[in-house]
Every structure is written in C-alpha cells, then in structure tokens.
Amino acid sequence: MGVTHDDVRHIAELARLSVGTARLDELASELNAILGHMDVLGKVDTSGTPPPAAAPGCTHLRSDSSGPIPLAVPRESFAPIMRDGFFIVPRLATHEELSSGGAREGGA
C-alpha cells in the first residue's frame, strides 16, 4: 500500500492543502516511512474486538442544553468583514470560472 505522488496530490486536495510538485517526493517518502511502522497492527488479532464508540470507559451523554455563550467582545471586533449583521466571506467562484464551464466551487 505504498503512497504514490498521485496519492499525495489526492489527499492534499481532500485536505485543502497546496502541495507543490517539488515536495511530492519528500512527503510520499515520509508518509511511507511512517505508515511502514503501522503495518504491525495488521498482525494483531482483533476479531471480536469492537472499536470504541468514544474514549474508553468514561464518556457520559446528557442533553445539549448549555445555551448561548456570552462573548467578551462584540463579534464585529473579531470577524474580518461584516455587513448588515452578516459575516462576509470570499466569493464562491469568479465569473470567469462559471462562464468557462468549470466546476462550481464547494461552499464554505
């Protein structure tokens, strides 16, 4: 299950990271070295051993009723841009991308 350059490109895309061609070799090599140490797990018999649903032994469920969190400062003071009470985020796509038939960008 060696990690290839294509794998690195693919997972970088999934993780929203820009990875230049110059770094592909180094990253693939590092990931392969680390994952090589994980292969020992494949030899462990886990038949009949369920994965934990949460941290073992000590997770307690209760109603989600803590209510709103009071902020120490108004949200306008830490949001990059606000207008009419709304957070302004970068546009989802340029007109050029849409008119050239490119794929629509995912929403944030």
Partner 1 sequence: MKQTDFADMPASVIAARVAAGSLDPVQAVAASFAMSREKKSGRDGLNLVLWSDEKLATADASVLKETMGPRGEGGSLAGVPVAVKDNIATLGLPTTCASRILAGYVSPFEATAVTRLRAAGAIVVAKTNMDEFAMGSSTENSAYGPARNPHDLRRVTGGSSGGSAGAVAAGIVPIALGSETGGSVRQPASFCGIVGVKPTYGRVSRYGLVAFASSLDHIGVMARNVDDAALAMQAIAGLDPRDSTSADVPVAPYCEEFVSIATTPSPLEGLTVGVPAEYFPEMLDPGIRALCDRALDALRSLGAKIRKVALPHTSLAIPVYYIIAPAEASSNLARFDGVRYGRRESGTASLREMFGDTRSEGFGPEVTRRILLGTYVLSAGYYDAYYRKAQSVRTLIAGDFARVFAGGVDVLFTPTTPSTAFSIGQITDPYEMYMSDIFTATANLAGVPAMSIPIGRESGLPVGGQLIAGHFAEAAMFRVAYALEAALGGQAHQ
Residues in contact with partner 1 by the rule CB under 8 A? 1, 3, 7-8, 10-12, 14-19, 27, 30-31, 33-35, 37-38, 40-42, 44, 46, 49-52, 54-62, 64-66, 69-73, 75, 77-78, 80, 89-94, 97, 105-106, 108
Question: Which residue is it, tokens 């140490």?
Answer: 37
Q: Is the Cβ of residue 84 or residue 90 nearer to partner 1 in the bound state?
A: 90
Structure tokens at 74: 């108004």
User: What is the smallest separation between the CB atom of 2 and partner 1, expressed in angstroms?
Assistant: 12
Structure token digits, residue 37: 């140490």
- Between CA 25 and CA 44 the distance in angstroms is 31
Structure tokens at 66: 């803590």
